[in-house]
Chains A and B, each alone.
Chain A
Amino acid sequence: MSDRRIPEVHPVDTLNLLHTEKLIFEQGAPGRSGASLPPLDVPAIDPASLFGSMARTEAPLLPEVSEVEVTRHFTRLSRWNYAIDIGLYPLGSCTMKYNPKVNERTARMPGFAGVHPMQLESTMQGALELMWRLEQCLIELTGFQRVTLQPAAGAHGELCGIMMVRAYHTARGKSPKKVLIPDSAHGTNPATCAANGLEVVGLKTGADGIIDLESVKAAIAAHPNDIAGIMITNPSTLGLFEEHLGEIADLVHEAGGLVYMDGANFNALLGKVRPGASGVDVMHINLHKTFTTPHGGGGPGSGVVGVGERLVPFLPTPIVEPLADGGEGYRLDYDRPQSIGRMRSFFGNFGMFVRAYTYMRELGGEGLTKATEMAVLNANYVRALLSDVYSLAYDKPSMHEVVFTDKRLKKETGVQTLDVAKRLIDFGYHPPTIYFPLPAVTGGAGALMIEPTETEAPETLEHFCAAMRAIAVEAIADPSIAKSAPLNTAMRRLDETKAARNPKLRWTPTT
């Protein structure tokens, strides 16, 4: 290569200063580094002298770039992402509410971020106290007896909850195998049962969108003495309140089973329903949904689990307890013989605990109740602004989210849910959750599941609904526009089939 280098450039490489970015591995030059390392003030050891044939002879293929290149690369990449701080993010069942800035500050306080999990308990009292206080807030909100903070995410919380249900039955010398799960459930519910060696008995959503009491009775009758429990999402993924929850809980309890409530949609219930006092035995809550810890591009979350009296002995170890002898302070209790054991290393996603506690204490009981009220009002407002153009999946009152289908639109224009979603991007929005939940997508219909959350002002919702309406109008005039959307993005529709047919799952050097 010549010493004088002038690469080929094209103006299309950037769009509105959004740069087409090479992978970090494709940048830089051999020998370049962005590391800041201390000088060695002790004798250098040759790995080969210690490890012999186990010593690595060739360094891993990591990038060779300066800090400047790293900063630019990740800053440029970040600009290809949509985010809550950019605009409305109406993903149904994900509760994409605003993530308060102050949370980020408290989570980074050295007394929290700097604490190592293997410190002596006497040196981590503030962290233990925060966990205790967070648990007390969660108990106040849910009406449960205790809450374990250990699970790392909602699905992990489900796993933990169903493990406890199973341990409860085992402790009573029983091993029922069936778990009732409505067809509107999130996919993690059946997957969790499978991971616990339990079998799913499906419940069909009734004509009004909620669980039909008769179908529960029939399922229980069909499996005498074999009901481990029920997993029920409330409000359901259809955004509807399960009005028969009390009666369902009675039926399941009479059959010897326990009631698991998937608390993914708990944002609809703060100050309104305390599940632990309403017949629910166990429930996970996603701190990253209801309690504003950031979603981080897909984690970390936190899936804390509340339990009623019957399941307290089975909680994972350790749990935080106040010092027994009346002394001031907290300790970790490992001595719980009936515990299901450990769900993970250490104590849970502590960084999320600090953020969630910060949020709860800022809003207080009244503020949290108002959050729920405005979340439900916002969902119903969107419903009112769109239901003449998009078909409602079910006509019952909405809670925190509203589900539309593309039935009418598709019939009249051929434009489907995916097209609407992609066209929304051109109007500046992240699309809602699509093609879920299952009861709404029967008969080839596509579903749009919209959860605005309470942090959106009415003007924002009005603008979003105007975009949704414009897409429907445009679809009648020229369906091809939505079908080829997005048109305004730097990246057009991506070929997912190609990605799966010939998987390329890591970068490899070309030479």
Chain B
Amino acid sequence: MRYIPHTEDDVARMLRVVGKPSVASLFDHIPERLRAKRPLDIAPLDEARLLAHLGELGAKSRPAVGVTEREGAALSFLGAGLTSHHVPTAVDMMLMRSEWYTSYTPYQPEVSQGTLTAIFEFQTMVSELYGLGLANASMYDGATAAAEALMMAERLTGKHKSLLSYALHPHYTDTIYTYLRSQHGHEAEGYAPCVSFGKDGRVDQGQLSAALSAGDVGCVVVQSPNFFGVVEDVAAIAKLAHDAGALLVVANAEPLAFGVLQSPGAVGADIAVGEGIGLAIPPSLGGPGVGLFAARPEYVRQLPGRLVGETTDKDGRRGYVLTLATREQHIRREKATSNICTNQGLIALAFTIHMSLLGRRGFTELARINLSLSEHAKSVLTKVPGVSLAFTGATFNEFTLALPRNAFDVVKALAERGIYAGVSSRAAGLYRAETPPSTGGTKLVAPDDRWLTLAVTERHDRSTIDRLAAALTEVLR
């Protein structure tokens, strides 16, 4: 057993030192009624057979992302909360260093300066991208970060009513709903997505303004670019929210957008959260992700999650430590700002390394490449007979088409041709959120089953976009 070093002689000698007659006797104090009644039934495999077995399982899926498409990956335009970018080889090579992936929480700063320094750099990058002076060491993912942001806003305003945009990623809406229902019980019925969107695909400001008029709202949550890819007018929404005494949380599933767009903080967001997986590691069925969390610095005492701060050592040299832990569960227990214990250290590291490689120029350039290819794809795809844009609002690298028929059927037909064309608005468990919540009498625009949301990135080029257009034409014929 290669991970368990004990020889028979070792065990015998150790038992003599411990003063026990047998290994079994170490468990003698476990009462009979609690003991397992039979041995475990799991068959072991040696490494070669293990690799063969896992390889066979893996071969039963067709990946969206591979080293090259020729190796069996589909041509993928999937986004919807996870837009995979090309992550350079240097990132994964670095993650495989034992010093990174086999270390733990930097409880002892003298032997964890690597992790602590990297988190400090990560916090700086998230703060820069979202334009807010404060960022934490990361959350589980974008959806849980959004739920934590809403709860933080409620603590700050003392108001327990929030407004959610209907164009927020349905997984984020559902997660927020789960968290709040647990905290507030049935009162959470008020947390429905209740702000609809107009023909431009953006938040209906008239409706938002009306919903805010009573002054009882603590928090407004919108996503930008939103689930349909449309860029929200965050500045206008922020003004409406602030005038009504509410805080604005901006969620974002594609941080790259802020290479070409004003950061949420620069246009009035109080808290910004996002998902960094697409810029950090391969999609891995969507997990592990890395939740990005930024806020105005004055809110630091209400921030959930870990924080790293700068300090000095005994000799006056600059170093880093976990800090402001009095917000956290291991100190505050039931009075903590969140029950979160860890962060997503390794994925945050991958994000930090990739951001370092892209750098100031590369990040902006990559964002422009995405924008240009996406605009090109829009013009090519809307030339396909019967296909138009679902919304008039500006988009970044993701947009929504209105197809002449059910988009889910089209997605299936294209998958058979090796193309993952995108996500149909009613597929894959999306819009579960439309069932439970009461909408406060507000009329919502129901997602149309002909809508297809797709992402175009630097992984694509003129020819792959043409391939999608040709296949779409064929399927729709």
Contact = CB atoms under 8 A, between A and B. Distances in A.
B128 A371 contact: no
B292 to A, nearest CB: 13
Contact of A197 (B182, B282, B375): B182
Interface string A79-123: 111111110010100101111101011111111111111111011
B389 interface: no
A506 B133 contact: yes
Contacts of A374: 4, 6, 11
Nearest to A28: B359
A272 B413 CA distance: 51
Interface in B23-62: 23, 26-31, 33-37, 39-47, 50-51, 53-55, 57-62
A40 B373 CA distance: 8
30 contacts: A33-B357, A45-B368, A45-B375, A62-B356, A64-B359, A74-B118, A89-B104, A108-B282, A110-B71, A115-B63, A116-B286, A129-B57, A152-B144, A188-B341, A191-B329, A194-B339, A243-B30, A274-B37, A277-B37, A295-B105, A300-B140, A300-B345, A340-B182, A362-B46, A362-B47, A363-B1, A374-B4, A377-B14, A506-B127, A507-B121
Interface in B280-314: 281-289, 297, 300, 306-314
A31 B360 CA distance: 8
Contact of A64 (B182, B361, B458): B361
A342 B100 contact: no
B224 to A, nearest CB: 9
Given A91-B107, A191-B334, A500 B359 contact: no
A223 interface: no
A506 B124 contact: yes
Contact of B61 (A38, A126, A155, A341): A126
Number of chain B interface residues as a range? 35 or more
Given A35-B365, A499-B311, A112 B184 contact: no
A323 interface: no
B473 to A, nearest CB: 19
B117 A80 contact: yes
Contacts of B333: 187, 190-191, 200
B477 interface: no
A455 B121 CA distance: 34
A64 B179 CA distance: 40
A34 B359 contact: yes
Contact of A55 (B20, B133, B262): B262
Contacts, number: 720
Contacts of B156: none
Contacts of B444: none
A332 interface: yes
Q: By CB atoms of chain B within 10 A, which of A28, A316, A506 has the most?
A: A506
A431 B108 contact: yes
A347 interface: yes
Contact of B423 (A118, A133, A376): A118
Nearest to B108: A431
Contacts of B54: 106, 109, 112, 354, 357-358
Given A21-B117, A191-B339, A342-B178, A55 B260 contact: yes
Given A129-B57, A344-B140, A495 B23 contact: no
